[in-house]
Amino acid sequence: MEPNPDAEPRGRGLSCDTCRARKIKCDRESPCSSCRAANVICRTTKGPLQKRQRVLISPRYEEEIAILNSRFARLEKLLQDALANSHSPSLTDKILAGPSNLGQTLGSPSFEGESSFAAHSKHTVLEIERLVGQLPYSKDGDVAVASLREIVNPGSTNAQGPEPTILRQDFTGLPLPTRQLVIKTLNYCKNNTTRLFRDYPFLHVATFTKMCQQVYFPTGECSLSAFIIVNSGLCNLFRDFSNDIIDELGLDAAEVAKSVSICAANVRRAAVDLSLALDPTFENILALLLSASTRMDWTNPSFDWKLISYAAVLCQEAGYHRLPDVSTSDEVRQERLVFWYVWGFDVMFSFNLGRSPTLPDHDITTARPRCPGDVDVPWGYGFLSWLDSIELQHEIYQQLYSGRAQAQPPEVKTQRAQVLAEKLIAMRHAFVAGKDGRTPGSAGTDTAAGESFELMFYTLLTLVYRVIPLVEQIHPLQVCNDCMSAARTALNIQNRAWERIGDSNDETWKLFIHWTLLCCPFVPFIIVFSHAIAAGDEGDLHLLGRTVASLQSAAQQSPSIAKLHHVFSTYHQVGRVYFDRAHQAEKQQVVGEGHGGVQSIMDENLTNMPFNSATDVLLPMPTWDRLLDEWNLGIGEENAIEVSSFLGNYFSATFEFQD
């Protein structure tokens, strides 16, 4: 056929309209072979160009691309740093850990909160130095100030090491306690009541025995969660063995102590390797809960809070926060118990670290455990009292120390504080009256439980009374009488507990300190220290010295307690030097009319100091506030802002500070 005169000239590489309509290959001649064979007109038309739109996989496609680019940039920087610091094994381990592990989200500072502690304490050191400098020269004063500089030094000897190397789910090569020791322990648990299965009623002896068999005699694949539960449980069992029980079972005390260290180290290593994609199963939630409760005696609370927060998320995914109240099955009972344990730990860690709890109260419909029923008497009443105290802690944070609460006028905060104080006092009366069927202060573990409750109560009461402003504040560090009385009582209880518990069992005393300081911030020490300086009360200084001495033995076994002891002892030393210089100034001063002793010397030095207003203090208020960020066993450098909002402007009666 003849070429179509209307057709566009070929050679542009376009297929004809007929071939495109028939979806066949065109040889792009004019006319093409297909059109010649079909005896049809071969025409090629040029349609208008249409703008092609890229198909997006999701609305966040561009955002995800940007995130990937930023991650690649950070990875490239990490690799460059690794090459530049190839001698540092901790950095290499961090790079090889991979992004799928819970432990990968942690850094490895020399100790928790070091950066914020050092940054916010430098001004404190200068103010202390200026305060001590107002008194006659003493070499001890320079030593005290040097000690203060030491506790904010990034190279402090109290530093904690980095988290252990990632396991990558391979824990078969880790050491374990001997089989003979485990078998004797399990047989003892079957015939006797132990603290582990009493404190965690959702963990049964038979279930725990099966998990031990999975770890020691694996016939199939053993999960990482089961490995953690076994090591955490054995650690608690061995740790609670008294010398009488060790002798009764024919065990070696040194072997038991070594097994405690082995199990605790295994929990530390395995917890870091927990995946961020765990299924919301009872076993995984239990593993996270026991990991946090075991690790808190050995490492930093910030990572333990991450474990508990993750457990709280899994509880929500599993629906534990909305369990039916009518169900009486054993499975639902265990789920209810483990949920309220996770809730309690979540609120405790959040209260101590200045964060909001993961589980919102308005979304919880699961009923509280029943006693008797879900938990046994008499321990069950103590557990319910613990839940009540945790709920009050949450109220204290929301109504007194949250960002919204601090914006309230003093009258509102005073009214709220009085209501919360009444609730705390009522809770203590119920506990002391023997609601739980026991007498607090009896021998054994009841002594520790009773003293722990009392110490927690007076510490919380100190926090509540602290927000009540004085009608007339004579001294900038002065607090109301109720606050001062509660703080003194808390320190006296701490010292009394040391006399009852510390001399008999160092391990029990160490756990007592960890658990009481976990429940609430230990601020009474700071209140008493401030009053000692403000009022010139050497009795308060002596009380501080006894508190420092009570931490000495436990500080040798726990890095976190060692840090707390170091800070407390340093500030006690500063107070001691201040009083010594005041006495020296008193001796040098000419005795005349109106001479008022040590307090007059202190008042004179305060008058000579360049205060800007009546709200200024020897240590500036924001500095005192920042100190609280780190006094609770080193709570993490990333928490400075959160804790500051939690205990915001803590040492001002009106919460209005000047830098």
> Counting every residue, how long is the chain?
659
CB burial string 148-159: b at 16+ within 10 A, e below: beebbeeebebb
301-319 pLDDT per residue, tens: 778 888 899 999 999 999 9
Q: What is the pLDDT of residue 441?
A: 39
The position carrying tokens 């070499």 is: 139
Residues linked to residue 403 through DSSP beta bridges, in sequence order: none
Q: Of the candidates 148, 231, 246, 237, which has an alpha carbon nearest to the alpha carbon of residue 197?
A: 237
Structural domains in the chain, sorted by start? 1-46 (4.10.240.10), 114-163+498-646 (no CATH), 164-367 (no CATH)
CA–CA gap between residue 643 and residue 648 (Å, rounded): 7
Integer angstrom CA distances of residue 184 from 190, 248, 259: 10, 11, 14
pLDDT of amino acid 341? 92
User: How far from the centroid of its chain's Cα atoms is residue 294's Cα?
Assistant: 13
Q: What is the pLDDT of residues 504-544, one digit of tens each?
A: 667 778 778 877 776 677 788 888 888 888 888 888 999 99
What the block records as the tokens of 455 is 């110490």
Please give the residue that has the higher pLDDT: either 267 or 355: 267
Q: Which two tokens stand for residue 370?
A: 């029943």
**In the prediction, which pLDDT does 48 show?**
64
Percent of the chain with pLDDT over 70: 65
Q: SS3 for 101?
A: strand
Which pLDDT value is given to residue 140? 57
Q: pLDDT tens, 419-436?
A: 999 999 998 888 777 654
N-term to C-term CA, the chain? 96
User: How many angstroms from the chain centroid is the CA of residue 568?
Assistant: 21
Q: What is the pLDDT of residues 15-66, one digit of tens each?
A: 888 888 888 888 888 889 889 988 888 888 876 655 555 555 555 666 667 7
Q: Which residues does 607 contact at the CB level (< 8 Å), separation at least 6?
A: none
Residues 6+ apart with CB under 8 A from 417: 400, 464, 465, 467, 468
Q: So what's the pLDDT on residue 87?
A: 44
Predicted pLDDT of residue 96 = 33
Rounded Cα–Cα distance for residues 192 and 186 (Å): 10
Tokens at residue 429, please?
A: 């009366």
**Is pLDDT at 646 greater than 90 in this prediction?**
no
Q: Is the pLDDT of residue 619 over 50?
A: no
| pTM of the predicted protein model | 0.64
Q: DSSP state, 638?
A: G
C-alpha 534/C-alpha 553 separation (Å) is: 30
The pLDDT, as a whole number, for residue 233 is: 93
605 falls in which pLDDT band (50, 70, 90)?
very low
Alpha-carbon distances of 175 from 128, 216, 258, 259, 264, rounded to whole Å: 49, 11, 11, 9, 11
Q: What confidence tier does 224 reach under pLDDT thresholds 50, 70, 90?
A: confident
- Residue 328 pLDDT class (50, 70, 90 cuts): confident
Which is more confidently placed, 354 or 270? Answer: 270
Average pLDDT, the chain: 73
pLDDT at position 465: 93
27 CB neighbour count, 10 Å cutoff: 14
637 has pLDDT over 80: no
Question: What 3-state DSSP class applies to 72?
Answer: helix
Per-residue confidence (pLDDT) for residue 230, from 0 to 100: 94
Q: What would the two tokens of residue 601 be?
A: 């010397």
pLDDT value for 45: 81
487 pLDDT band, cuts 50/70/90, is very high
pLDDT at 255: 93
In angstroms, what CA-CA distances link 146 with 139, 153, 189, 406, 569? 11, 10, 52, 35, 13
Q: What is the mean pLDDT of residues 497-506?
A: 75
Which segments of 142-276 are extended strands (E)?
Answer: none
Cis peptide upstream of residue 162 (ω within 30 degrees of 0): no
For 453, 476, 517, 613, the CA distances from 657, given in Å and listed in that order, are 33, 11, 27, 10
